[in-house]
């Protein structure tokens, strides 16, 4: 035989099967390790990427090498160590870069289109480097078309496999992805091999040698396969240990979460994307005693108070339709038949832009609501009490005053009758004095009762909130008092930049009119009076107004007392009933604010009124009408 002879090569089927098995297993291990990357601590991420790349790249190389050994071409083959090692490096490096790219924190599905071709080219590069490492006594030629096909297979398969990696969840999907990837790698290899044509000149001379070599090849193939399997199983073992750790952490985290929900007296529940209660709801079942069949869908609503159920369902439907957070309150019948008041907060859990499910928490606020209702009741009772007392006190006063006036009429008649009596003048004077004291006392008493009545009415008045320009408002009050101010030789300075607040105008006017009036009333005659009104921001939504004077001051022991009804401090040389500051304090409280006093005897006094920028409507309005049973 002369001239080049085309070698008729065959494959050892056992080794081929072995190579495919290695490809699939290594792909599975790579996917398994790759899945760890996202859940791993930042420092460990690259270790998992390296592990996955090693498994995949090494596996591909191992598959390729065994595939080469499975190739029986009937002539001696030797391998160049350097190039063979290089082919392994190429496989591991290309796979590593591809895995690292798709596992970046910011990676999206689109990045698969970068990583896939990269990995495919790496696999092809590895294959042809490995082929180049093969020394055969004949010649090696490639069919360009089939080489191109093998590269295309590599790129497509790698992309598909990485894409599967991205969306795989369970073991089955992982197995599918691994199968696709493994078969694709093997397919690429054997396509690549098909692209090669071996020719030999002296085939016959080496016939005997081949048999011997065939034996060696099988041993080598089994050794490589064994080592690869061992490494892959070790990797899988490491992965499963990590998996257990992750699951342990997950269980601990879930237990922690449930404990936290319970600690805030909450009941956790979930609904499907359409807002239907589905599956096991241990919290809800324990709260209401409803069975799964009873609460599923919208059955939960039958455990909600009949007065609240319809509105709750409507609000929930609107929330689900709008895909927003759910904030609601309603009463739920507990297992023991009692009605409990709950605040509900639910949020949609999104996955890839769509709602996957709803998670909500019912928080028991029954005690809070009861305490509020009690407070409201006692407030109302107090107001009613003040109202009744003041009216019932007034009725006898009408008599005292009325009959005192009758006595005055009689006094004239007595004087007439005693006209000639020697003591007539003294008797008349005595009568007059007694009647005068009685009338003065009654007048004072009536003033006090009227003040209590006014206070109780003030508590019931519904506030109308409006934006108030405080500089204008206070300047108006100061101007209205300018007669008294001028008479006292004092000056009132209102800061020009007082902030605007939203509150009830009448109440705010009464508060500051009282404070300004007091400031003017209790100036120190020793020095010219100076009264200033300034404001500072207090917290995020509050403003503190300071009404400061340089007047006579209030002794420290009286600081709390000045806010009490009918109490006055210092020298009693000014007219007043001791109502003003009690009234001011009640008003400020209704406005949702507070009032404090700082003062030094002989130096001056500062009353600080802290008010919300945006006032609530005030409890006064919410209390509702008080019945007039007293009348």
Partner 1 sequence: MQPVCIVMIEDDEGHARLIERNIRRAGVNNEIVPFRDGTSALAYLLGPDGSGEASARRHLLILLDLNLPDMTGLDILEKVKANPHTRRSPVVVLTTTDDSREVQRCYDLGANVYITKPVNYEGFSNAIRQLGLFFSVMQVPETP
Binding site for partner 1 (CB under 8 A): 391, 394-399, 401-406, 442-443, 446, 457, 625, 628-631
Measured from the CB atom, the residue of 357 and 446 that comes closer to partner 1 is 446
**The two three-digit tokens of residue 199, written as one number:** 């020719």
DSSP H helical ranges for 133-206: 144-167, 171-195
For the CB of residue 523, give the shortest distance to partner 1 in the complex, in Å: 33
Residue 496 or 625: the one with the smaller Cβ distance to partner 1 is 625
Which run of H or of E encompasses 197? strand 196-200
Task: Tell the smallest beta-carbon distance from residue 417 to partner 1 (Å).
Answer: 20
Give the largest CA-CA distance in the chain: 181
- Cβ closest to partner 1, residue 225 vs residue 507: 507
Q: How far is the CB of 628 from partner 1 (least distance, A)?
A: 6
Buried b or exposed e, range 165-178, using 16+ CB within 10 angstroms: bbebeeeeebeebb
Q: Which is nearer to partner 1, 260 or 628 (CB)?
A: 628
Instruction: Tell me the closest approach of the beta carbon of residue 389 to partner 1, in angstroms.
Output: 12
In eight-state DSSP terms, residue 538 is -
- Separation between Cα atoms, residue 531 and residue 518, nearest integer Å: 11
- Give me the least distance between CB of 383 and partner 1, in Å please: 13
- Residues listed for the chain: 631
Q: Does the CA dihedral 446-452-454-460 come out positive or negative? A: negative
The residues, ordered by sequence, that sit 6+ positions from 112 with a Cβ below 8 Å of its Cβ are: 102, 159, 162, 163, 166
Q: Name which of 109 and 398 has its Cβ closer to partner 1.
A: 398
CB of 394 to partner 1, least distance (A): 5
Q: CB of residue 412 vs partner 1: minimum separation in angstroms? A: 14
Q: What are phi and psi of 386, to 5 degrees?
A: -60, -40
Phi/psi-derived region of residue 564, left when phi > 0, alpha when psi is between -120 and 50, beta in every other case: beta
| Least separation in angstroms between CB 443 and partner 1 | 7
Ramachandran sector of residue 3 (left: φ over 0; alpha: ψ -120 to 50; beta: rest) = left
CB nearer partner 1, residue 7 or residue 623: 623
Compute the least distance from the CB of residue 455 to partner 1, in Å: 14
DSSP secondary structure string for all residues of 233-245: HHHHHHHHHHHHH
Q: Smaller CB distance to partner 1: residue 14 or 630? A: 630
For residues 446 and 517, which CB has a smaller minimum distance to partner 1 in the complex? Answer: 446
Q: How far is the CB of 473 from partner 1 (least distance, A)?
A: 25
Give the residue with the Cβ less far from partner 1, 453 or 601: 453
C-alpha–C-alpha distance, residues 470 and 477, integer Å: 10
Distances (CA, A) of 502 to 464, 473, 591: 10, 12, 10
Nearest to 441 by CA among 400, 411, 410, 472: 400
Handedness of CA 266, 269, 274, 275 (dihedral sign): negative
Based on CB atoms, which residue is closest to partner 1, 280 or 409?
Answer: 409
Angstrom distance (rounded) from CA 347 to CA 355: 10
């Amino acid at each position: 035989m002369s001239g080049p002879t085309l070698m008729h090569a065959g494959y050892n089927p056992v080794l081929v099967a072995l190579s495919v098995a290695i490809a699939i297993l290594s792909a599975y291990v790579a996917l398994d390790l790759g899945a760890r990357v996202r859940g791993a601590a930042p420092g460990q991420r690259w270790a998992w990427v390296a592990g996955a790349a090693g498994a995949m790249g090494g596996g591909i190389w191992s598959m390729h090498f065994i595939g080469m050994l499975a190739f029986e071409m009937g002539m001696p083959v030797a391998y160049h160590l350097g190039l063979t090692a290089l082919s392994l490096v190429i496989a591991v490096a290309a796979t590593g870069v591809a895995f690292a790219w798709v596992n970046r924190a910011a990676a999206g599905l689109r990045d698969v289109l970068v990583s896939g071709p990269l990995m495919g080219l790496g696999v092809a590069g590895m294959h042809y480097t490995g082929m180049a490492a093969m020394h055969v006594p004949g010649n090696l030629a490639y069919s360009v078309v089939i080489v191109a096909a093998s590269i295309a297979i590599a790129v497509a398969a790698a992309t598909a496999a990485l894409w599967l990696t991205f969306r795989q969840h369970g073991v089955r999907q992982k197995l599918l992805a691994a199968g696709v990837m493994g078969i694709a790698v093997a397919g690429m290899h054997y396509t690549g091999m098909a692209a090669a044509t071996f020719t030999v000149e002296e085939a016959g001379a080496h016939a005997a040698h081949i048999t011997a070599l065939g034996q060696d090849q099988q041993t080598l193939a089994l050794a490589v396969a064994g080592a690869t399997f061992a490494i892959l199983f070790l990797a899988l073992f490491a992965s499963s240990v990590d998996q257990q750790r992750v699951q342990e952490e997950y269980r601990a985290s879930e237990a922690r979460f449930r404990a936290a929900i319970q600690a805030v007296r909450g009941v956790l529940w979930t609904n499907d994307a359409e807002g239907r209660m589905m599956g096991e709801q241990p919290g809800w079942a324990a709260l209401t005693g409803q069975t799964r069949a009873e609460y599923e869908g919208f059955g939960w609503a039958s455990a909600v108070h009949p007065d609240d159920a319809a509105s709750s369902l409507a609000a929930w439907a609107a929330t689900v339709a709008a895909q927003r957070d759910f904030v609601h309150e309603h009463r739920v019948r507990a297992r023991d038949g009692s009605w409990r008041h709950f605040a509900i907060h639910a949020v949609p859990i999104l996955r890839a832009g769509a709602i996957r499910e709803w998670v909500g928490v019912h928080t028991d606020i029954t005690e809070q609501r009861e305490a509020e209702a009690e407070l409201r009741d006692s407030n109302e009772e107090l107001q009613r009490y003040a109202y009744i007392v003041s009216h019932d006190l007034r009725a006898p006063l009408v008599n005292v005053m009325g009959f005192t006036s009758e006595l005055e009429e009689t006094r004239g008649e007595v004087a007439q009758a005693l006209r000639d009596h020697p003591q007539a003048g003294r008797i008349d004077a005595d009568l007059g004095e007694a009647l005068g004291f009685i009338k003065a006392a009654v007048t004072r008493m009536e003033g006090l009762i009227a003040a209590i009545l006014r206070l109780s009415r003030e508590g019931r008045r519904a506030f109308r909130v409006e934006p108030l320009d405080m500089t204008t408002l206070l300047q108006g009050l100061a101007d209205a008092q300018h007669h008294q101010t001028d008479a006292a030789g004092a000056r009132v300075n209102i800061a020009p930049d007082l902030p605007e607040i939203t509150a009830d105008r009448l109440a705010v006017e009464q508060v500051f009119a009282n404070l300004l009036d007091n400031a003017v009333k209790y100036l120190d005659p020793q020095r010219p009076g100076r009264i200033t009104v300034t404001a500072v921001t207090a917290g995020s939504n509050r403003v503190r107004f300071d009404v400061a004077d340089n007047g006579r001051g209030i002794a420290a022991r009286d600081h709390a007392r000045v806010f009490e009804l009918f109490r006055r401090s210092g020298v009693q040389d000014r007219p007043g009933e001791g109502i003003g500051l009690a009234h001011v304090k009640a008003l400020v409280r209704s406005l949702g604010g507070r009032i404090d006093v700082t003062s030094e005897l002989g130096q001056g006094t500062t009353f600080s009124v802290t008010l919300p920028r945006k006032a609530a409507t005030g409890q006064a309005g919410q209390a509702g009408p008080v019945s007039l049973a007293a009348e």
